[in-house]
Structure 1
């Protein structure tokens, strides 16, 4: 296609819903292929396996519910790490939550919240799904603020740099909404 606008026009004419159109360069394609080759050759842990390891290390144990999620087909990446660690804390009884949150963010073994990709799409999906609150990595906060303004996103977006901040924020919001 000649431009992003021509792709958008074509999709609209066909009544195909879309969130965004992203130009993919040869650099993107070859970078993706190279990362996949490194994964296949076991020269580097993929993001998904790193997330599994970080969540289990942070929680200090494996959990059957979390493993059930992690063992599903057709999932990958690391952006579910923060959400899974928070679920682990809820399962253990270390965190109480009565509110509905959208959560995205990778985590390290020590609980640091790491940036993720596709933040715009994740925010749009959370908004369309009716979430009132979303927790994202602090390193994605600037981009999220721009997206929130440009897309007229009404849900509250909170950014955290460590899982402890997410726990504190969840506790405060639950106390406020009692």
Structure 2
């Protein structure tokens, strides 16, 4: 979603938004990066695209990532994080009860587990840690936690509420 160019577009219903695994925040490039972009666009030379992996290698990497070990305690942690978006009071987060209109669906648990496995795989590990869950959590949850008007009035975003959940829910 481009927050600037929204004319003629309509927000997706929550049920459709929930089908996206992640919502990434992409900011502006820094000065060095922007200068490089400017130079590349001014150049007549267009780099050749080279294949770096075969489709079979990609499939194999996906299979290996799927096999990353997810301990039952980390599974419980994932479910607790997602449940805390729906029932904050159970997790000592009573102050969030009026700030969240809708919590994350069961898809959030599924995608949080999958993304944490990939995070662990990318870090060269064969097992998921709670830190992997924390690392990918905001990207998995930010579009699934719908803030209330009260939260908006306090200038709170779903990222703020998700961070508070991660700061409060007990880590195994």
TM-score (norm 1): 0.31
Instruction: Tell which has more relative contact order, 1 or 2 (C-alpha 8 A, sep 6+).
Output: 2
TM-score of the pair, normalised by structure 2: 0.31
Would you tell me which structure has more strand in proportion to its own residues? 1
Please identify the structure whose Cα radius of gyration is greater: 2
